[in-house]
Amino acid sequence: MKDLTTFTLSVIQELEDEGRFGTAHVYRSMLRAFQRYWESEHPKNEIRMRKAFDIATIHKFERHLLERMLKLNTMSTYLRMLRAVYNRALLAGLTDYVPGLFKHVYTGTRADVKRALPPAEMGQALDISASLHRELKEAQIWFALLFLLRGMPFADLARLRKCDFKDGVITYRRQKTGRQIRVHVTEEAAELIRRCADRRTDSPYLLNILGDENCRFPLGRREEYRHYQQVLRRFNRKLKLLAAALRLGRKLSSYTARHTWATTAFHTRVAVGVISNALGHSSVKVTETYLKPFENEMLDRTNKKIIAYVKKCSIRQG
């Protein structure tokens, strides 16, 4: 097994066998992107490992991604996935060690796009009394729960089970990291849970998000993941319509509530470590990526305060 395609497909299969369909999906997207690049450089030639894992090849692949006008974070994700495949192939003895193979390509994470809502607009989005079409009202309730349940990811909200909610507390494991999270459910959140609860006795789901009459899949199965992706796409479309209906100043997405919770906590002086634990991040570095754009704003405000204070003291002495 010396070609990249076959080896990467075996990695993808291993991930799917473990139920890690989201990660497998990213690996598959990376493979398709690399195959497109390889076909443009070496038509009809298989992707030999030792030729693929070459410094010149990695640089050309990065340039190919840039020419396709991919976002920097998408490009970085593909390069990190390719690096992960390289590390696996290296351990399996299928390729040679190349010092600094990924040293000079971009594998970082940029957080310059602000996804969070200012408090006033988030307040509008949480106002369930607003008159809306039934489908938009449902999307608004889901969105509100994402925020009220401590910035819960939609992937976790959709998959909450009835047994996860007990004595006013939701206990669940994050889909992305496997980390256990405990969230106290406020009265407001409990009321919204009652409004969109999956009341069918044969359904394991707490909320009627994935519980469709025509789609009843066991948790963790490939079909359930595909169904979730369809639901997520519909949810994001409805959120765009919801933002327009509420006349918000920016678009909404399934990420907005989580980012808004994190940045609101940051602006109210909650420690980054506490925010990281609340969100269930794998490390504080992930949280810092969320908050990076707002750090400069806070520093700028601090700078203005210092300048104003010094000027004020100067006037007093004069």
pLDDT per residue rounded down to tens, the chain (318 residues): 579 999 999 999 999 988 888 899 999 999 999 999 999 999 888 999 999 999 999 999 999 999 998 988 899 999 999 999 999 999 999 999 999 999 999 998 776 556 789 999 999 999 998 899 999 999 999 999 999 999 999 999 999 999 999 999 999 999 888 889 999 999 999 999 999 999 988 889 999 998 765 555 555 678 888 889 999 999 999 999 999 999 998 899 999 999 899 888 888 888 888 888 888 887 787 777 767 666 666 666 767 777 677 667 766 665
d(C-alpha 313, C-alpha 287), whole Å? 38
Side chain identity, residue 261:
W
d(C-alpha 254, C-alpha 115), whole Å? 10
d(C-alpha 176, C-alpha 223), whole Å? 18
Q: What is the SS3 assignment for 204?
A: coil
Q: What backbone torsions phi and psi does residue 2 show, to the nearest 5 degrees?
A: -110, 0
Domains of the chain: 4-91 (1.10.150), 119-269 (1.10.443.10)
